[in-house]
Structure 1
Amino acid sequence: MPVNAQNDVIENGLSAADVAQRVAAGQTNDVPARASRTVGQIVRANVFTRINAIFGVLFAIILSTGYFVDGLFGLLIIFNSGIGMIQELRAKRTLEQLAIVGQARPRVRRDGVASDLPPNEVVLDDVIELGPGDQIVVDGETLAADSLEVDESLLTGESDPVVKHPGDQVLSGSFVVAGGGAYRATKVGKDAYAAKLADEASKFTLVKSELRSGIDKILKYITWMLIPAGALTIYNQLFNVNAPWADAVRGMVAALVPMVPEGLVLLTSVAFAVGVVRLGRRQCLVQELPAIEGLARVDVVCADKTGTLTENGMRLAEVRQFDGDVSQALAALARTEARPNASLQAIAEAYPEDPGWTATAVAPFSSARKWSGASFGGDHWVLGAPDVLLPPDSTERAEAERIGAQGLRVLLLGHTDVQVDSPDAPGNVTPKALVMLEQKVRPDAKGTIEYFDSQGVTVKVISGDNAVSVGAVAASLDLPNAQNPVDARTLPETSEELADTVENGGVFGRVTPAQKRAMVGALQSRGHTVAMTGDGVNDVLALKDADIGVAMGAGSPATRSVAQIVLLDNKFATLPHVVGEGRRVIGNIERVSNLFLTKTVYSVLLALMVGIAQVNYPFLPRHVTVIAWFTIGIPAFVLSLAPNNERARTGFVSRVLRLAIPSGAVIATVTFVSYMLVHGKATPQQAGTTALITLMIVGLWVLAIVARPYKWWKIGLIGVMTLGSVLLFVLPFARKFFELDTSDAGYTWTAILWAAIGVVLVEAVWWIQRAIASRRAAVAGGA
């Protein structure tokens, strides 16, 4: 291509006709939209489930007997599918709306005008501008480069930025760390290098979380329990019991239905989806659902100062000159970068007059260098960190430290003896002025730090700014250890010593991007679950390696692309709500898991006992349906969506099974005993009613245990469920509908007596478990 033609393409980009032609040819960046499964996938995933298949078969068997009322459990198919679909569709809509707001929007030149476009509107051969922090959204060829440095570590693992020149290839998934330029899109859509990775990383998913993996493990245990219990029940009811075929089938179905924890997976999915919707209302984009759960387990939050504890904008407070007027030099430097950072923007606002100096060489600011500069002919100027540009014994450096201790950001303007883009830069720097910039502390930062402190979560400030300045800001927020900030240039290099230093310190300054990443890894090596917050390109590597990456919506596109959570309102104070939502999900699912698994345990054991004794199963399908309503289903749904701020703990599976197995064993035993005491001398309806009273009372007590600690609404919930259960045995039409017989007071008192024994045993189990947990906590604390 002739030089003039290429310059024209770089300057103007594609024309509208060119774009239309490529769209018609399908040469667009048509990648899968972030956030969700399709509506069809959601419907299939919620309707065609293993649990629905089991219930569907049992429902068909019951219908074949003609006892349609005993098929009430079939409504669970509709409820499970309907509730799951509605909540996930709500979450899908919320995520998609927020993802549009939070997505990286490349700046594309068309018809000589540059404008921000959604990534999917980029077409082949589009000319895309680049600046610090920009994510490269499609593969391309560099057309223009102004000290352009690209970080490809997320793709290649190579940590050093790569300098790009015209003609060099750039890959999607990388991001700009310094300089600027433009590139032409050569591969778009699924042909782009990182398209598959981005597709996988951005899917709406309900899997790969500790909570759900724990539930899957529990379901595997249950599957093995169901096989012998189910086989024995089927054999006993159809071949050993001298009952009509229809009654035997009803007993078989009644035994099998409660063995399946039908609502556990559903309520887990619903709790996650509701969490997404709730956080969406707070302008919090959850890019990976397990992040809600993960942040609830976090015990260390590493926060960047700028943009997190302080607001993004800056104001030039003062320029302290050492040798003559430097206003023109500052004004010229502020105009050398096409995409200036916040410091240069503040200087440009203070010096609006362009001095007309022509730059012959530019060194854009990078987090690794900590300085920027420009050469104007033989005049070389640098602007950056005084403690990087000046020797330790410099009086100007000491003055900068003193000013920085007041919480101001202090930059040194200096004159140097080498061109700024030479390998020896910055060379010997002669101080010319100290530039003082004010940053406003976010008004909600202190309250957020106090919240984390009250919840046992440690906040560590990790910043690229001067350590003393960072410490002053942190001290104003009463952050622990803020009075002893650590300069990251003094950090040890060995992993063990680094872990010790990072764990004991609270504030760190002059941290490079690579060090931020290493510090996150050091904390993780000590067993901490780490969240990293940030908004700048220097935070990308640490955000990616942290257990939970949290980016600010106004931050660079690169940070938003790697973070699991994006705070679109740019408020650090939103984080406690995310933590609270995660705790609600984990704590409440643990509660309802106790209910569902207790039911599964007692159903399996009761079926085994009845099978071994070779007697009729005591319940009809309609009985197990109403048991599920009052002791599990309705309470579990309410508890799964209720507020819960208990700190997340590991050991979900063992903790649930420690309560569910003994409680289920107690319920099965006392129910079986009360049933056998009246079996043979009472009618089948009276025997079944006796067993049902026992089971309902102890089941409601398990609900009362799970609901602890009590609040007024929990007491009300237990009261309503208890009242409903009592009315079941009192109201004549209810007794008739559910085939109950309470006419013999002796049988009723037998049921109540064994229920009382069951209540005492279940309560004892709970107190023993509490004592064991307290002893373990004390041992762990002492260790």
Structure 2
Amino acid sequence: MTSTLPTLTGLTDAEVAQRVAAGQVNDVPLRSSRSTAEIVRANVFTRFNAIIGTLFVVILAVGPIQDGLFGFIIVANTGIGIVQELRAKKTLDNLAVIGEAKPRVRRGGRTVAVSNSEVVLGDLVELGSGDKITVDGEVAEAEGLEIDESLLTGEADPVVKKPGNPVLSGSFVVAGGGAFTTTKVGHEAYAAQLAEEASRFTLVQSELRSGIDTILRFITYLLIPTAIGLILSQLYVSRSDVKEAIRRMVAGIVPMVPEGLVLLTSVAFAIGVVRLGRRQCLVQELPAIEGLARVDTVCLDKTGTLTEGGMDVEELRTLAGGGRQDVEHALGALGTADSRPNASLQAIIDAYPRAEGWTVVEAAAFSSARKWSGAELRNGSGTVATWLLGAPDVLLPSGSPTLTEVDELGAQGLRVLLLGRTPTPLDAPDPAVGLVPQALVVLRQRVRPDAADTLRYFERQNVSAKVISGDNALSVGAVAASLGLPHAQDPMDARQLPRAATEPEGLADAVEGHSVFGRVTPQQKRDMVGALQSRGHHVAMTGDGVNDVLALKDADIGVAMGSGSEATRAVAQIVLLDNRFSTLPLVVAEGRRVIGNIERVANLFLVKTVYAVLLALATIIFQVPYPFLPRHSTVLSGLTIGIPAFFLALAPNNERARPGFVRRVLRFAIPAGVIAGTAAFTSYMLARANHATGQVADTSTATLTLFVVALWVLAIIARPYALWKLILVAMMGLGFVLVMTVPWAQNFFQLHLEGWRDPLTGALIGVVSGVLLEIVWRYINIGLPLLPSVKARRPQE
């Protein structure tokens, strides 16, 4: 293949070695995740670990080891969190290496692909359409080179680059080709720090985590005055027994801390990353898992998403005045004019090899904005003419008879390109002036075999799919209709869309009202995503080409194909490395599982916090010994929250996440916690009124009541039931029975029921409270995602 570019040889091997020795390499590390030290630090040095750790040290100083069990549980939980996140880190790092773009550098006259970290100062880096520029430099060769710097400057229009012009890291090539000499590498590059931050595996900017942080901050503020009040009241009640007062103060404080909620959130996200990694799905930003769970609209680029990247020439139709041999020779020469051909041009290259005698004088690479490519070609007889290849409805005036033929072909799902000849120079403002149509190139696209099933999945999940493409609207509509996309028979030409700047409401109406759009420019894709977001939609955008970059960046979630351009992979939050569109439903399902289950188990932890606060306040007001010792809280928390929460957090869950996490959780947790705390304290006070029993028996009765209510809460949260959930609830109940009946367990945990009256009273109060929980739950939570089975029984909602 010939090229109009001058030939530069680049650095020699000796020069490369010299620069490596001098440290002049692009040594910005690939950061797909937090470092090991950051993971350990984030899991160990937490606000609640500090609180629990301090209380653990206090208990070791004043009480038996049984009352310090909660400290060992925290150590175990922290260890689990570290191990799970390290597993996620390993998965992400391995996938990041697989998915990393490899720049092509010219060294000693040979082009070699190297990793980003192997680029050195002064390297000659080759560029083609879709390439992301990772280091700063100066253009050395240019052939129709257009670079988009919008991610750096906000300016949407591509910038034409000539030799001598600077290029900045963080920009990407939208048209043409060339090469540049690196002038800044590593941390000196303009966008190196921004790129490093943007590519980190992060836990921030998540509604779920911000909601949990809000709850935890409130609990922290509540802990200090409650602890002070509790210790003073217990000192007053216990008089001279300071150790007993401290033990019961600790027993009151520890249950208020929902330490396992933070752990389970990290573990659920980490396991989600590992599961997706096994599917060759690279999660570049952790909140993407949560974001996909909230998606209600998916915008799909047809090429590379619904269809595979490759195409085949179906037919070549010459038009009046077009000689077949000249047409084939021109197509072959146009193929040599672009060093980085797209799928359409590659199909033409495969079908029509370059003819002898035809040479390229000047070339203009394909641009998504203008919808054509072209070249000034010299034929075998020496005649120079401009040939353009592109969208017929862009190159031809409206009303042209040829467009009727194009529409008929497009309605069959075929892609049609027009080859035309014009006397207008290629560098004229409008080279299409005077264009004489020569031929129609009919291409057949390869539809992905999994596309139809994936679209049906989204339809079942009430997720709207919008096909947005730069191709002819009728052709796109035919492909989408063949895959069963609803309303695909009514495609819309994007050139008829209202402008976002002047008619934003009209644009939003049009985008919401149609499923298929053709002839969409890159800026229009961005505007359409914004229009959907303005109507409250949570939008995911998929794509693989540079024309998708702006929309991918603005969408709530950007999903890129692994075979797509470097630029799309760089801005997307999720990359499907195996290019399987069918992986997307698995990603959505994983996000829903993670978010839905965290919301589910958050109820368990916060119910405990609420009843712990209530019990502490009641103890202070009534000036009685706190009902429980730390060991009792450990038993209750372990059997009704800690152990079952780990299983529930990993269960299947297909409900779409919705905003309002904190409000929904508190609507159930507060009344349920009040019921549980009231029941336990009532049972405790009634037991204390029986002077024939001691403190151990009174505590045991209160523990029985609280366990019954807490187990009932677990039974509610676990719905809808599956066999394993019923077994889980039953096993937790059996565990408590063993603690209360096995002699060594009774002694170890200091639990022993005396007589029949108090235990029966405590059990009855627990059952009555459970019934009250059912009433409250049905009043508050019917139709909420917590219980999809109830929603299913009420289809009118």
Fold shared, TM-score > 0.5 on shorter chain:
yes
Deviation at 1:344, TM superposition (A): 1.1
1:193 aligns with 2:190: yes
How far is 1:239 from its partner? Answer: 2.9
Which of the numbers 638, 653, 674 marks the counterpart of 1:644?
Answer: 653
Letter in 2 for 1:561: A
Distance 2:259 2:332 in 1: 68
- 1:771 & 1:721 partners in 2: Cα distance? 26
Aligned residue in 1 for 2:533: 524
Answer yes or no: is 1:294 the counterpart of 2:294: no
Report the AA paired with residue 641 of structure 2.
Answer: I
- 2:190 is equivalent to residue 181 of structure 1: no
Task: Tell me which amino acid in the other structure corresponds to 1:409.
Answer: R
Confirm whether residue 157 of structure 1 aligns to residue 159 of structure 2: no
Matches within 5 A, 1:58-457: 58-242=55-239, 244-322=241-319, 323-325=322-324, 326-377=327-378, 378-457=384-463
Aligned residues: CA RMSD? 1.7
Amino acid at match of 2:544: D
Counterparts of 1:449 and 1:110 in 2: how far apart (Å)? Answer: 46
Q: Indicate which of 13, 34, 38 corresponds to 1:37.
A: 34
CA distance in 1, matches of 2:137, 2:784: 58
> Once structures 1 and 2 are overlaid, which stretch shifts more, 417-426 or 580-589?
417-426
CA contact (8 A) 1:361 1:419 kept: no
Q: What do the CA deviations read for 1:545-589 (whole angstroms, capped 9, x no partner)?
A: 001010000000000000000000111111111111110111000
Alignment partners' CA distance in 2, 1:354 and 1:281: 47
Q: Describe how 1:348-747 pairs up with structure 2 within 5 A.
A: 348-377=349-378, 378-493=384-499, 494-680=503-689, 681=691, 682-747=693-758
Normalized against structure 2, the TM-score is what? 0.95
What displacement does 1:220 show? 1.9
SS in 2 for 1:375: strand
The 1-side partners of 2:765 and 2:225 are apart by 27
**Displacement of 1:638 after TM fit?**
0.7
Are the aligned partners of 1:132 and 1:177 in contact in 2 as well (CA < 8 Å)?
Answer: yes
Alpha-carbon separation, structure 2, partners of 1:356 and 1:34: 50
Residues 152 and 162, structure 1, Cα contact 8 Å, conserved in 2: yes
Gaps of 5+ in 1: 1-6
Corresponding letter in the other structure for 1:203: R
Is the Cα contact below 8 Å between 1:332 and 1:355 reproduced in 2? no
Q: Please give the alpha-carbon distance, in whole angstroms, between the structure 1 residues aligned to 2:781 and 2:188.
A: 57
Q: Secondary structure at the match of 1:436?
A: strand
Give the Cα separation in 2 of the matches to 1:723 and 1:771.
30
Distance 1:61 1:773 in 2: 42
Shift of the 503–388 alpha-carbon distance from structure 1 to 2, 3 Å rule, reads same
Distance 2:200 2:409 in 1: 48
CA gap of 1:32–1:353, structure 2 versus 1, over 3 A, is: closer
Q: What code does the residue aligned with 2:688 have?
A: H
Distance in 2, Cα, partners of 1:96 & 1:21: 30
Instruction: Find the residue that maps to 2:649 and give its secondary structure.
Output: helix
Q: Relative to structure 1, is the Cα distance of residues 233 and 772 closer, same or farther in structure 2, using a 3 angstrom cutoff?
A: farther
- Which range moves more in the overlay, 637-646 or 164-173? 637-646
Q: Distance in 2 between matches of 1:77 and 1:741?
A: 27
Q: Distance in 2 between matches of 1:432 and 1:688?
A: 94
**TM-score scaled by structure 1?**
0.97
Give the drift of 1:246: 2.2
**Secondary structure of the structure 2 residue equivalent to 1:460:** strand
Please tell me the residue identity of whatever aligns with 2:505: E
State the distance in 1 between where 2:359 and 2:520 align. 33
SS in 2 for 1:440: strand
Match for residue 54 of structure 1?
51
Task: Report the counterpart of residue 788 of structure 2 in structure 1.
Answer: none
Using a 3 Å threshold, how does the CA distance of structure 1 residues 656 and 129 change in structure 2: closer, same or farther? same
Give the distance between the partners of 2:336 and 2:434, measured in 1 at CA: 24
Structure 1 position 439, deviation (Å) = 0.7
Q: In the TM superposition, what is the alpha-carbon distance from 1:356 to its structure 2 partner?
A: 3.5
Letter in 1 for 2:567: A
Query: Retained in 1: the 8 A contact 2:610–2:670?
Result: yes
Runs (5+) with no aligned partner, structure 2: 379-383, 786-790
Q: Which moved more, 1:175-184 or 1:759-768?
A: 759-768
CA distance in 2, matches of 1:488, 1:96: 40
Per-residue Cα deviation, 1:236-273 (whole angstroms, up to 9, x for no partner): 11233346222222111111111100100110011111
Q: C-alpha separation between the residues in 1 aligned to 2:214 and 2:760?
A: 40
Structure 1 runs of 4+ aligned residues shifted over 6 Å read none
Amino acid corresponding to residue 608 of structure 2 in structure 1: K
The Cα offsets for residues 470-502 of structure 1, whole Å up to 9 and x where unpaired, read as: 000000011111111000111111111111001
1:95-150 C-alpha deviation (Å, 9 max, x unpaired) = 11111111221111112111111111111000000000011110000001001111
Cα offsets for 1:7-34 (capped at 9, x unmatched): 99x6221111111111111111111322
Question: Structure 1 residues 34 and 772 mapped into 2: Cα distance closer, same or farther (>3 Å)?
Answer: closer
Do the aligned partners of 1:46 and 1:80 also contact (CA within 8 Å) in 2? Answer: no
Alignment check: 8 A CA contact 1:618 1:691 kept:
yes
Distance verdict in 2 for CA 1:586–1:243, change over 3 Å: farther
* Alpha-carbon distance, 1:420 to partner: 1.9
Distance, in Å, in 2 between the alignment partners of 1:438 and 1:356 is 30
Q: Is the 8 A contact 1:206 1:272 kept in 2?
A: no
Paired residue for 1:4?
A: none
The letter for the 2-side match of 1:639 is: L
CA deviation profile, 1:598-634 (whole Å, cap 9, x unmatched): 0000001101101111111111111111111100000
Report how far residue 353 of structure 1 moved.
Answer: 4.3
